Structure 1
């Protein structure tokens, strides 16, 4: 099932699709050369927005938790990618310790963990689950919706290694985004591979740094294709020291919102787009669709009600919001059964392994879809997976659309690679 694009303004996207398909050999070579210089994150998911006149990533997650939304047909791709990733990092790997989120009673999330166990088991590893939750003091059985179960065990920390009882892993895979901070038990592991690294967690990572890196990637890619980078890049600004309850930082916020809406308006005028521009204000760290609001006019910020202030003040694990990113709003014109939809691309190592549509019947084209009530529809990779079909009319072929989404996803993944390198505390500084 493929959503339809309900807009007359799909000319630029059709042109972009045409250009991407025509440039496929050059694009794949460009990615290949980039990956010779940079290490991809271990796994990544990217939320993409298709406005008909613009196609851009709006969020990049380095601890993706929706593997259960990929179809069984996508599993072989994920297993092959997992094999490639593990071979690069630790070819002799035998044991993999998977560390999930602490809220392990969520059945959807548990099914995601089950899928990850399945992928890495089929990649040839012994996989066991270790919990950061201090309440897990003995092996705990968690029931799954399909009638099977998972066992989560307490972590055992030695002087230099982390493991479980009678289980010494070469590699530790985090599926916990460390929003609550970096636990001491994960620090100073000098003889094991920790993936993703600690500085990829939300205790350290910032969305503004990611989109700084993405802007650099988008400019390089646009130069390769001879196009305007704005067509694939959401503009943004950042405010630190914001307190939604006390009103601190409101001037900074209003100024950035006003400036960014003005920039978007000028771009819309340049391209003859009749839409009303908007921006999205988000917590600069954090995930799960928390701490996000849509703003169409800077004046709206002076009249935030208590509910909105509360929503914007705290994110996952009770972390307070004091830094925000103000991002150009990219409307989504994809529809599935009249409900607003956006594609989410899933990658492991440097490979696109699948994805799905996030669909929300109660949200508008300019709103965050990562919210309660969202549904997930796997991307229809049935037809020759995501291999494009050059020569077909732009906009007419699902594989071509998915290839284009995969290119945008990989650009965001490359930006995450740049971002992690820049933030790496182990990296040597050049003087």
Structure 2
């Protein structure tokens, strides 16, 4: 059987009125690994458009032979040997759930049509209809946790894909090299054939390389290069400092050392026991905010029992703050459920024009950060400005608002003192 019989027989062009109005058609393209090349969506084309016009309107690279046969889409050619598909494989398409007898260039389309292009292993490999393809696509996250190659990519795939095919999509999106032909054996091999890409699903080590697992929307696939010994769990974590003394405004970079160093998942989660005293970001950078004592904790994402802590003492910085802030509603407070409108007068005494970000932050009774709003402004030296922050307060609970000025959300360098704003119960 020749590939031409898969696409159909060219029976001549179908002529249409070139002055027809635009029409909307629905299109999807599924690649040779069941990967999503163009997710099901509506496309606007000319009223005299053909199926080939619709395919090209997806923006994918398309190669068409002089005969009208679609030979390649997105670099995937008919008759490829990848995954042992062989010479009988190639591109097919459906219009409204049936396979036309025309090449796409000769197949007219009309408003509301459904077009599905898919790479088939052979003529009998007919995918289900556009409707089921549309319903079967899921959005998943492919996350790699290697120290030297950490990334997280959102991909859209068919839910009946092998997880390896989803990993391949994530690696491809990240620009990672891999051996496509290894999928034929149900595995994904690095390009140099030295390591497999293995995985766990949703952080559960018991799902290690379970190939029959069906994906669902929102799944997270954690990948790592496997030396054949399976998952290496984190045994312990150590920090480069167990205690530190900082002054308000200081920044300290903490480093976590994971044992064993070749653990499959070396990702560490950071937290602060009181983020109003010192905040820590996802990379272990600590910013001292006000006087007090705080514990910074690093916990293995893989093994929650593997953790390390650093006790930080923050002392008051007696150097005058460059921005003086005053609460213009200091004699009133907010109630739960209110739209809290905070008005702050900011005076710039820094000696230079100052970029600043007013932060109005919400904390619970345990001083845990809950939410914030931010407003950015530049205040000229010697000038003052009224800064406003508006936040919807929760209906229940015990909370406190804090207002302060940083140079930016990125740097978090404090430019002002902190103003506490009470939140009263609405009972």
What TM-score do you get using the length of structure 2 for normalisation? 0.22
Structure (1/2) with the larger helix percentage? 1
Structure (1/2) with the larger strand percentage? 2
- Bigger radius of gyration among the two: 2
